[in-house]
Amino acid sequence: MLIGTVIGNVWATKKDPTLTGLRFLVIRPFTTDGKISAESIVAVDPLGAGIGERVLVVFGRAARHCIGRSHDIGFQAAVSAIIDKMELEDGSTIGPTAREDQPAKR
Amino acid sequence: MFLGRVVGEVWATRKVEDLRSLRLLVVEALDERRDPAAAKVTPVVCADPLGADIGEHVVVAFGKAARVATLGMDGDFAFEAAIVGIVDDFDVPDAPASWKMQDVESLKAARAQRKLGDSGKSAGA
C-alpha cells in the first residue's frame, strides 16, 4: 500500500472487457523528502477521488477486492481510501490535498 | 518482507469498508542508499495489529502473510501490507548510521511537547 496524489484521469475505449465502466486515475506516489517522484501509477478508483486528492493505493488481490467485481479482473492497483490526514515524525502533517499540508514546526 | 522504521500515521474517513478499524502506519524501509543525497524511497503504508509507535523499527510483510498476521486468516481484504514484528534489537555488522535504533519514549515526549506548544500558541492567538 502506498500514499499518492491524484494527478489525472485516463480513458480507454479499447480495453479488457472486465474493465468496462471503471474509472482510472493517474497517481503520483508520495515521498518523504518532498521531492517529486519520477514514477506514476494507474489505479482503478471505486471511491470517486478527484484531482489533487491524496489517496491510499493497494495492489494485487486487495486491489481486485476493492474494485469489487470478483477476482477475475484485468487490473492490479486500486484506490482503497481517500486520506484525511497523515502525521509524520518530524511534526509535519499532510492534508487531503497539498494545500492543507503543514510543515514541521521548529 | 523488509526491515523498516515507522515514520507516520494515516487517517482516512472515505475508505473501503474493511479498512475500518485498522490502524495504518507509514513505514520507511531501511536500505542502504549508496548516495546520501539520493531521493528517499516512497514509504509503505501498513496495517498495524501490534501497536507500533512512531520511530520504532518494524518487520513488514506483504500479501497473504500480512492478512494472516493482521486478522488471523486469509481472505478478501483491502490491504496487503502489515507490521508483523516490532524489533527489539538487531545486529547487522557494518549497518549504516541511519539504521540506529532510537529511544522511542523520548521521541514520544518530544512530539507531545510540540503538540502542547502548538495548542498553547493557538489559544494565545
Q: How far lies B96's CA from each of A68, A96, B33, B40, B55, in Å?
A: 44, 34, 9, 15, 17
Chain A CB within 8 Å of residue B54 CB: yes
- Per residue of chain B (125 residues), give pLDDT as tens: 889 999 999 999 999 888 888 999 999 988 766 566 665 578 999 999 999 999 999 999 999 999 999 999 888 899 999 999 999 998 988 888 888 888 888 888 888 888 787 776 655 44
pTM above 0.95, yes or no: no
Which residues of chain A lie closer than 8 angstroms to B14, CB-CB?
47, 81-82
SS3 label, residue A38: coil
- CB-closest option in B16, B26, B41 to A86: B26
User: In terms of C-beta density within 10 A (0-12 exposed, 13-18 middle, 19 or more buried), how is residue B59 classed?
Assistant: middle
Closest CA to A33 of B118, B101, B28, B111: B28
Q: Give me the interface pTM, i.e. the ipTM.
A: 0.84
